[in-house]
Structure 1
């Protein structure tokens, strides 16, 4: 659903950019708490979330290359807002999706640069807000179990995609550059994106379920959900005492990260070659309804990028060019995502906090 230049006029694109910038600013503050394990003052020794967030961003980038068929002549791909929000938290999730969209627009000429604010608002802010809100609401009424987390992730991801389609339609109603009835656009966009949402839901549920199976503590949305182990003491059930921190767990985190990165590279560098070549939902609706009538007047600012259209310039072998582009994109996205989140995490210190002095220092 990458909106290109020319679909939405300049005033609405600027307004959407302001909304996106505001959401990113709020997310930078919120992500500090998420990176600290939910508290502005606790958990700073825990380095799990920043590299995991970078990996989540890279995974979203890779899976977005895997267009899957959803109807005759139409394909879809992961948006990723629900997945990011559930794995690393809603604020960090907005940052992850924003990094992906920036990398795609700058390096691969995918999604207009003048429409970057539109894309972040629709694919990042709306999907995260809708998905995470529904996810938490479902967990509040379902049994506290791992299965409930997976089911909630499925439903939240499913709803987030047509919600994003509706958000695009609203922006088109406010600033579309062509004269197409909004009712037709809404019906077409929501209709096809409900089908795409099923694919999004399956990918999200499978990924969340896989991580929960090996490391539930790495899933932000599962915190506090897993029922503690009960022991019977003197005839009464009591919570088992939490085990002491295990230094082996840090090695296990690295193993999970390395496995995830290897899988992501395979998806982007190998599996992407077999993705559907059909236009995605927005492209199909735009062509059928005439939304793209003026898009040809705009040349993408990075159309001459050596990685434009997900291929490496001057590499004649199509499979090799696409694989190299995918691998480069994964590397750039994981580096950018981890770097951004690491900087956010490092800016945790409260300048108003008292200075600690060693014992025996004069005051």
Structure 2
């Protein structure tokens, strides 16, 4: 659903860039709380790299159309909504600058539709569902499925509204809306399956790493005078092993999985146009697309320049993309968390240097 240059006029593109910049500034502050510790930065960087890899795996939906993961719901549930916005934004920046995927002037539109709208809608719906569903892992997975499903057509609606204001071609907005929402509901089903399976996989091995599952433990019940009541919260016993439990194994597994998906599985992805491309072609919008400013990039169109073999070229581009995204994402989140630590140090009261020998 990457919007190319030329679909949206300059004033509206600039306005969405301001919206995107403002949302990212807010997300930077919110992410400092969500990350918790500097050790969470590599995990957030991994989530960005995983989204990059899975976005290369277009899956067929209907009528010669394909779809791919947007990732807002997945990122929000795994690492939190503020960090999730940043994760998807990092992916979109890497794709636009290095791979000529999504216009440079349309970057604000893409971040607004694919990072902000999907994350906000998905996480709001997810939190509402987990509050009314039983406290269980299955409920988290079910809520993830529904949230991801709804987030994709919500993104399509956002694009349609932006196009209604700043579209560069004279096309019936009603037709665009119907086509966009219709095909993205189907794509949303694929998004929902990928999101639910990924969240379920992480829950099965490290539920403590799923941000959206925090605080959902089943409370102990006691029978008092014939009635079941919640047991009072007990002070947790010190567990040095749990406190130092390494995230390295799951990080390694996640990175290897991302590299395999981008480097090998992506070769078998559907070559059909995605939902936005199909709608743009069918309704004459595609004629307004402009040449990408990074069209001469050595990684443009997810291939390595001068490598003739398509399988090797695409695989190398995918591996490079995953590597660069995990490095860039981890760096961004490390800086964000580091600034939080510095602020807390600056505001902390000075240590008491008074000793028993002072008079």
Q: Which residue number in structure 2 is paired with residue 134 of structure 1?
A: 125
1:216-238 Cα offsets, whole Å, 9 max, x none, are 110000000122567999x9984
Which residue matches 2:165? 174
What is the alpha-carbon distance in structure 2 between the residues aligned to residue 230 and residue 270 of structure 1? 50
Q: Distance in 2 between matches of 1:203 and 1:354?
A: 47
Partner of 1:254 in structure 2? 248
For residues 231 and 15 of structure 1, do their structure 2 counterparts lie closer, same or farther at Cα, with a shift above 3 Å needed?
A: same
User: Are 2:350 and 1:355 aligned?
Assistant: yes
Indicate if the aligned counterparts of 1:228 and 1:240 stay in contact, CA closer than 8 A.
Answer: no
- Give the superposition deviation at 1:250: 4.4
Shift of 1:353: 3.0
Moved more, 91-100 or 235-244: 235-244
What is the 5 A alignment of 1:141-160?
141-160=132-151
Q: 1:73 to 1:212 in 2, by over 3 A?
A: same
- Which has the larger displacement, 49-58 or 170-179? 49-58
CA-to-partner distance for each residue in 1:146-200, whole Å, 9 max, x for gaps? 1110000000000000000000000000000000000000000000000000000
Separation in 1, partners of 2:353, 2:273? 64
Contact (CA 8 Å) 2:74, 2:148: kept in 1 or not?
yes
Give unmatched runs, 5+ long, in structure 1.
37-45
Q: Which moved more, 1:181-190 or 1:344-353?
A: 344-353
Structure 1 distance, partners of 2:261, 2:354, is 54
Residue pairs, 1:40-55, within 5 angstroms:
46-55=37-46
Q: Does 1:341 align with 2:333?
A: yes
Q: Is the 8 A contact 2:93 2:107 kept in 1?
A: yes
Q: Secondary structure at the match of 2:236?
A: coil
Q: What stretches of structure 1 move > 4 A for 4+ residues in a row?
A: 228-233, 235-241, 248-252
Change in Cα spacing, 1:49 to 1:291, as seen in structure 2 (3 Å) is same
Instruction: Name the CA distance, whole Å, in 1 between partners of 2:241 and 2:315.
Output: 37
Identify the range of structure 1 (344-353 vs 196-205) with the bigger mean alpha-carbon deviation.
344-353
CA shift digits 1:88-146 (9 cap, x unpaired): 00000000000000000011000000000000000000000100000001111111111
How many angstroms apart in 2 are the aligned matches of 1:21 and 1:228? 41
Q: State how far apart, in whole Å, the 1-side matches of 2:222 and 2:263 are.
A: 48
What is the aligned-residue RMSD (CA, Å)? 2.1
Cα distance change of structure 1 residues 305 and 13 upon mapping to structure 2, 3 Å threshold: same
Q: 1:218 aligns with which of 209, 219, 224?
A: 209
Distance 1:113 1:308 in 2: 13
Q: Is this contact kept in 1: 2:5–2:105, CA < 8 A?
A: yes
1:212 and 1:240 map into 2 onto residues whose CA distance is 24
CA contact 1:229–1:240 (8 Å) conserved in 2 = no
Alignment partners' CA distance in 1, 2:50 and 2:8:
29
* Counterpart residue number, 2:259: 265
Uncovered stretches (5+) of structure 2, i.e. residues with no partner: none
SS class of match (1:69):
strand
Aligned to 1:209: 200
Query: Counterpart of 2:67?
Result: 76
Corresponding residue for residue 329 of structure 1: 321
Cα distance in 2 for partners of 1:325, 1:149 equals 34
Mapped to 1, the partners of 2:164 and 2:278 lie a distance apart of 18
1:250 to 1:71, Cα distance in 2 relative to 1, 3 A: farther
- Cα distance in 1, alignment partners of residues 255 and 339 from structure 2: 26
Secondary structure of 1:293's partner?
Answer: helix
Q: Say yes or no: does 1:190 pair with 2:181.
A: yes
Higher mean alpha-carbon deviation, 23-32 vs 46-55, is at: 46-55
- 2:119·2:151 contact (CA, 8 Å) conserved in 1? yes
The answer to whether the 8 A contact 2:38-2:338 is kept is no
1:58 maps to what in 2?
49
What does residue 40 of structure 1 align with? none
- Matched residue pairs, number? 351
For the 8 Å contact 1:8–1:176, the answer to whether it is kept is: yes
The DSSP-based 3-state class of the residue aligned with 2:295 is coil
Asked whether the equivalents of residues 113 and 301 of structure 1 are also in contact (C-alpha less than 8 Å), the reply is yes
* Corresponding position: 1:23 with 2:14: no
Partners of 1:232 and 1:360 in 2: CA distance: 51
